Amino acid sequence: MMKFLILLSFFAVIYAREIRPNCLIIRNRSYEKEVLKVDIKSPYQLSIDYDTNTLFFSYTARKEEMFQIAYLSLKTNEYGVVSGIHGGFATAVDAKHSIVYMGGEDGIYKFHYQNKTATNLNIRNNVNIWQMFFKDGLYFTTYPEETAFLYKKKKVDVVPEFVNIKTMLIAVNKDGNMVYANSSGLFVYNKLRMTTSLLDTAVVNGITADIDGNLYFSTPTGVYYINEVTNEVDELFKMENIYGVAVEGNGDIIYATEDSIIRLKPTKEECYYDQKWLSNESI
Ligand X SMILES: *[C@@H]1O[C@H](CO)[C@@H](O)[C@H](O)[C@H]1NC(C)=O
Is 141 a binder of ligand X (CB under 6 A)? no
Residues of this chain, 44-73, that bind ligand X according to CB under 6 A: none
C-beta nearest to ligand X: residue: 166
Tell me the DSSP string of 147-187.
Answer: -EEEEETTEEEE-GGGTTS--SEEEE-TTS-EEEEETTEEE
From the list 59, 187, 216, 224, which residue makes contact with ligand X (rule: CB under 6 A)?
A: 187
Nearer to ligand X, 195 or 280 (CB): 195
- What CA–CA distances, in Å, run from 107 to 40, 64, 85, 158, 251? 24, 20, 9, 14, 31
- Please select the residue that binds ligand X; options are 7, 14, 18, 112, rule is CB under 6 A: 112
Nearer residue to ligand X within complex by CB, 76 or 114: 114
User: Residue 148: beta bridge partners?
Assistant: 141
Residue ranges of alpha helices (H) inside 56-165 are none
Q: Among residues 121 and 259, whose Cβ is nearest to ligand X?
A: 121
Residues forming beta bridges with residue 120, ordered by sequence position: 109
Instruction: Give the binding range for ligand X (CB under 6 A) out of 13-21, 51-59, 176-184, 237-245.
Output: 176-184
| Closest to ligand X by CB, 183 or 282 | 183
- The verdict on 227 binding ligand X (CB under 6 A) reads no
Spatial distance between the Cα atoms of 162 and 178, rounded to a whole number of angstroms: 10
CB 43 within 8 A of CB 57: yes
Phi and psi dihedrals of 9, rounded to 5? Answer: -65, -15
Euclidean distance between CA atoms 140 and 57, whole angstroms: 15
The reply on whether position 114 binds ligand X by CB under 6 A is yes
Number of Cβ atoms within 10 Å of the Cβ of 19: 13
CB of 166: closest distance to ligand X in angstroms? 3
- CB of 246 within 8 A of CB of 46? yes
Smallest gap from residue 112 Cβ to ligand X (A): 4
Output 77 or 183, the one with its CB closest to ligand X. Answer: 183
The least distance separating ligand X from the CB of residue 278, rounded to whole angstroms, comes to 30
Q: Which CB, 68 or 257, lies closer to ligand X?
A: 68
Give me the sheet containing 185-190, strands edge to edge. Answer: 169-172, 178-182, 185-190, 195-200
Position 182 contacts ligand X (CB under 6 A): yes
Q: Which of 26, 121, 165, 239 binds ligand X (CB under 6 A)?
A: 165
* Among positions 28, 76, 126, 201, the unique one binding ligand X when judged by CB under 6 A: 28
| Three-state secondary-structure class, residue 7 | helix
Does 250 bind ligand X (CB under 6 A)? Our answer is no
Using CB under 6 A, list all residues that contact ligand X.
Answer: 27-28, 112, 114-115, 117, 119, 165-166, 182-184, 187, 196
